[in-house]
Amino acid sequence: MSEAEKYRKATYHLWTFTASKMIAMLGSSVLSFGISLYILALTGSAMSFAINMICSVLPRALVAPLAGYVADNFPKKRTILLAQAGGILTAGGLLLYTETMGMSVNAIYVATILYTFCSAFSGVTFSSAIATLVNPERLQRAISFNQMSISIAAIGGPVIGGVMYGFFPMDVFLIVHMVAYGIAFCLEATMNFTLYSTRGEAVEKEKLFAGLMGGFRYIKQHKIIMIVMLLSVWINLFFSGVAIGSTYIIIQLLEVSSKHFGFIEAAGAVGMLIASIYFATQAEIKTPLRFSKINLLLLSGSLLLAVLPLFIDLSYMNIVGFFIGLYFIISIFEMGINMPLGVYMQKLIAEDYRGRVFGLMETMAMSMMPIGMLVYGALFDYLPATGILLVTSAIIFVITLILLRPTVLKEAHPEFYDKVGEEIVN
């Protein structure tokens, strides 16, 4: 295939990939929103809602390394299509059960677990395949479009789901999800997941245990990858707590209504969408770790602002407006961290190990979320919210300075620092 043909195919991938992700994520978001409302209406129990949340997080954290192994050792296209088909069959099975036996919370739990397994395989495999779908020059745009799809789904899913919930039964939510996944399946079936692959035609498959251990060894041998992984672990640990803390401050201490809190959360999704569009139109960041460090420091500083309404007398609408602006800014800083690191890791990790590395990163990062939620949930019950957020902000600041110290940045981007050194000398 000529370079011109590959470039045209990559352009097709860029838009097809974006469309399939957006449609699938939107269908998933609508279903997730509908199921959440259904569980709360059926049981009136926050615990039932929390159990369903655990069913959507814990299985993915457990199976992600296996998904990474499969992504590295088996055809990516086949894995993604099988996982998408599994999601359709899961929704179809729940729909059939509902029609014959009636909807039950236990059936929803089982379906959520099965769906989470399928999404883990498709998600990790897609993450490891982005660099083989498009040319390196458009990698940042592809990742930006991926994030754009997630942001649009985060905004549109609750809106569509909220409207549907008032007029349609749960069966319709399941049908919408199946249709969305069916469209995504058809789009992904037309894509060439080896377009920019650097691997040979015959790839020797590793045995499961050896393959998983190979992923661990690869990470240990690459200092920068290890540092980025540690950074993601710490960020997920503390920011899961920050999410609880900010919600606690806004709703419990400042008594903001749930309706207005919805606008505040939507501002975060809008911020991510705008940041995604910005990165999609800009040249690739030359020093991604340095750029991420700056945004992490700004993000840790912005957390301090969350406690200001507790000390300053503001009107109700000013409080809502303040947090809308704060969530918007924080989401932009988050994108300033995730986007450059995502592009950098795609290029840094060898194709043979990309799935396993992303799978292990996802497991470690996601496993920190429930831990952070439990720890911070207990802390906010017994300690002042202001002190917890101030200490957390300081810890994030210090961890950033330690992990992304100048020697690490110089090792990651020697060409930039060598050039700067030469300019200073001259």
Q: What is the pTM of this model?
A: 0.79
Instruction: Identify whether the C-beta of residue 64 lies closer than 8 Å to the C-beta of residue 124.
Output: yes
d(CA 161, CA 131): 33
Question: Which pLDDT does position 88 carry in this prediction?
Answer: 92
Tell me how many helices (H) and strands (E) the chain has. 17, 0
d(CA 330, CA 289): 18
Q: What is the mean pLDDT of each run of 10 residues along the chain (426 residues)?
A: 83 89 86 77 67 78 88 90 92 89 83 89 88 86 84 76 76 88 92 81 68 84 88 80 75 77 80 87 86 91 84 87 90 88 86 86 78 76 81 88 90 73 46
d(CA 131, CA 113): 29
Task: Tell me the backbone φ, ψ of residue 37, rounded to 5 degrees.
Answer: -65, -40
Domain residue extents for the chain: 1-191, 210-426
**Measured CA distances, 344 to 228, 289, 354, 384 (Å):** 10, 8, 12, 39
Long-range contacts of 36-42 (CB under 8 A, 24+ apart): 37/161, 37/165, 38/103, 38/108, 38/170, 39/105, 39/108, 42/103, 42/105
Residue 319, token pair as written in the block: 């409080």
d(CA 128, CA 345): 10
Question: Which pLDDT does position 419 carry in this prediction?
Answer: 63
Common-topology check for domains 1-191 and 210-426: yes
Q: How many residues does the chain have?
A: 426
Question: Which pLDDT does position 425 carry in this prediction?
Answer: 39
- CATH topology assigned to domain 210-426: Growth Hormone; Chain: A; (1.20.1250)
Residue 65, token pair as written in the block: 């390394």
Question: Which pLDDT does position 264 carry in this prediction?
Answer: 82
- The CATH superfamily of 1-191 is MFS general substrate transporter like domains (1.20.1250.20)
Residue type, 229: M
Residue 9, token pair as written in the block: 């195919």
d(CA 193, CA 64): 20
